[in-house]
Amino acid sequence: MATLKELASRPERLTGGHRLCAGCGASIVVRQILAAVDNPMVVGCATGCLEVATTIYPYTAWRTSYIHNAFENVAATISGVEAAYRALKRRGKVTEDFRFVAIGGDGGTYDIGFQALSGTLERGHRLLYLCYDNQAYMNTGIQRSSATPLGAETTTSPVGSVRPGKDRPRKDLTAIVVAHEVPYAAQAAPHRWRDLVGKARKALDTDGPTFLNVLAPCPRGWRFDPSRTIEILTLAVDTCFWPLYEVVDGKWILNYRPKEKLPVAEFLKVQGRFAHLFRADNRPVLEALQAEVDRKWEALLRRAEA
């Protein structure tokens, strides 16, 4: 496992000077993922915050082979690139050992791009799919996605007399990916960089389709001061809202157990998108969200002990 000094000394594959917001979790995630291995890479990026802010014509922040495609098809695009690479390698026209990474936000992964992702996993392409999960369609106006948590306020799940934010729980996409019987899938968070980089290395060195779902806070959509990104990530993990685990050939492995499991309110109260849940009339939603977190945490513990 590389030390922090070794990782910091590696050439940056995502340069500074891009236009992502201060405090954006996506750039932290991607820099760590791309530092995990030394192999040459081909990166595909779905339309979204990351793509828009790093490839404003005629500039690019990417020091890898890079393909931008539509919102919904990055998994299919990189599947085709990986298949072409294997054909060229069989013919001796390519000798380098490339790695392939498809990147999408939660909108382009949980929702619009899910069909392409599922097909890629089922066909068995050797690539890593990375979802930077900021829990809404942040690039187009902070609309709710199926990754948006219960009770969160977005522009399409507003708070008012009719509803107290989003009225549905978020989709458990990592578990859905595991159901495809892929060799490796994991959840991670960039404040625990050693865990994330280690998982990225495993994923990139695995012969088959792999998946990383990484929490990426959005100061604009979650409504918090940009200086608090790492604090919020820590709270997400220590409340068990975002557990850290991996599934290797069907075996569930818990990577982190908080010494003290904090109430989910500690994670919610530092974000403006949940401010309304602390009014007396919305207490049932807060309780339902805590119950959801507790239920999923207990289910994960059972899986990891099996």
CA distance 183 to 180: 9
C-alpha dist (Å) from residue 75 to 72, 118, 228: 8, 9, 32
Structural domain including 122 reads 4-305
pLDDT tens, position by position, 237-277: 999 999 999 999 999 999 999 999 999 999 999 999 999 99
pLDDT tens, position by position, 3-41: 777 877 788 999 999 999 999 999 999 999 999 999 999
The number of folded domains in the chain is 1
Helix 114-123 / helix 74-90 crossing angle, nearest 10 deg:
30
Specify the pLDDT at position 1.
63
CA distance 214 to 106: 10
At 221, the amino acid letter reads G
Q: Which two tokens stand for residue 58?
A: 């005629």
Task: Indicate yes or no: pTM above 0.85.
Answer: yes
pLDDT tens, position by position, 40-75: 999 999 999 999 999 999 999 999 999 999 999 999
CATH code for the domain of 51: 3.40.50.970
At residue 118 the predicted structure's pLDDT band, cuts being 50, 70 and 90, is very high
Specify the pLDDT at position 31.
95
